[in-house]
Structure 1
Amino acid sequence: MNAMKWCVMALTVLVSVSAPAATKQEIDSMVNEALGELYKESSAAKELAGKAKGMLVFPEVYKGGFVIGGEYGEGALRVGGSNIAYYSTAAASIGLQIGAQRKAQVIMFMADEALTNFRNSDGWEVGVDGSVALATLGVGGTLDSNTLQQPIIGFIFSNEGLMYNLTFEGSKITKLER
């Protein structure tokens, strides 16, 4: 586990040194674009978003790896149609892997308690502080009825690149000062 934390910290440092942090306005614009794309792909996702207590949107999460991998992205927490706070997501992995990808992620908090627990956390780790049910679209863009019962539902879309990884597990989400 210490190796995993070290990898996440190293990735965070590398990304923050190599790429300038996005401004609030840039993140807001990218969040709007990502949600538009998600809603275009699935009317069920749009309907679900209307019922969500809050949504954490990461419009661009970059992942790369060669044996040791890592991912990083920045986004916003949207409550009541407005972005109210900004967050980063980072994860690391060790194992047989090679490649790079870009993806978008949306985590919908369907229950008040789930959203409150997230907002009150000092760094929230998927799978430890809360489980995220990965939404899979069925025939006609419908969502699995079991997924719809979960307090936290996640979408991963817009995958581009040579690495294909559809998971939230191990992602550490940290509040940004913007």
Structure 2
Amino acid sequence: MADAVKAKEALLEAQSGLQKFFDNSAGYVIFPNVGKGGFIIGGASGNGVVYEGNQVVGMAGLKKLNVGLQAGGQAIIEVIFFETHVDLNRFKEGKFQFAAETSAVALKSGIAFNAKYKEGVAVFALPKAGLMADASVGGQKFSYKPIIM
């Protein structure tokens, strides 16, 4: 959870335009350390924290396996914002995955101010280290485990 707090700070430092998403979304999940890598066959994985409003409600897992032209490795911060409670509940119920062609908005490009939700979600990625020519998040599968307070 401490990594998620630091990741949120890094996201806002890289792109202050994300503040409107943090303030206005029904919820979000921050994956502070998504590792991506591959050579022809690739994958990604990470663990994250799920927020409803600004309250922690659970933990999430991310997995992706893909085949195709790719090479390299990268560590990123990924955040997924949910526009409505229906969208957030879909994620919590395990009924959420990205379409194959979905890509994240790379925050280095500085376009968070104009970014919009697509099908109830907005996805942003901030590279931490490494080099990989792939911004796709399509095919990612998620797990959710609520935190009982």
Check whether the contact 1:132–1:153 (CA below 8 A) recurs between aligned residues.
no
Alignment match, 2:54: 81
1:72-103: per-residue Cα shift (whole Å, max 9, x none)?
Answer: 10001011222211111010111222211101
Instruction: Give the 5 Å matches for 1:37-48.
Output: 37-48=10-21
Alignment match, 1:59: 32
Deviation above 4 Å: which 4+ runs of structure 1? 136-142
Check whether the contact 2:50–2:57 (CA below 8 A) recurs between aligned residues.
yes
Q: Structure 1 residues 64, 83: CA separation in 2 closer, same or farther (over 3 Å shift)?
A: same
Does the alignment pair 1:162 with 2:131? yes
Structure 1 residue 47 displacement after superposition: 1.9
Q: Which has the higher contact order (CA 8 A, sep 6+)?
A: 2
Alignment match, 2:68: 95
Aligned CA RMSD, in angstroms, stands at 2.6
Percent of counterpart pairs with the same letter? 24
Check whether the contact 1:135–1:143 (CA below 8 A) recurs between aligned residues.
no
Structure 2 CA distance for aligned equivalents of residues 34 and 60 of structure 1: 9
Structure 1 CA distance for aligned equivalents of residues 58 and 21 of structure 2: 21
Check whether the contact 2:14–2:108 (CA below 8 A) recurs between aligned residues.
no
Quick check: which has more Rg, 1 or 2?
A: 1
Structure 2 CA distance for aligned equivalents of residues 142 and 174 of structure 1: 26
Structure 1 unaligned residues grouped into runs of 5+ = 1-27
Structure 1 residue 59 displacement after superposition: 0.4
- Name the structure where strand makes up a greater proportion of residues: 2
Check whether the contact 1:137–1:143 (CA below 8 A) recurs between aligned residues.
no
Does the alignment pair 1:125 with 2:91? no
Alignment match, 1:173: 142
Structure 1 residue 160 displacement after superposition: 1.6
- Name the structure where helix makes up a greater proportion of residues: 1
Residues 67-76 or 153-162, more deviating: 153-162
2:132 aligned counterpart, secondary structure: coil
Match of 1:143 among 79, 97, 113: 113
Structure 1 residue 138 displacement after superposition: 9.6
Q: Structure 1 residues 73, 140: CA separation in 2 closer, same or farther (over 3 Å shift)?
A: closer
Q: Which amino acid aligns with 1:59?
A: P
Check whether the contact 2:27–2:88 (CA below 8 A) recurs between aligned residues.
yes
Q: Structure 1 residues 143, 166: CA separation in 2 closer, same or farther (over 3 Å shift)?
A: same
Structure 2 unaligned residues grouped into runs of 5+ = none
TM-score (norm: length of structure 1): 0.71
Q: State how many pairs are aligned.
A: 146
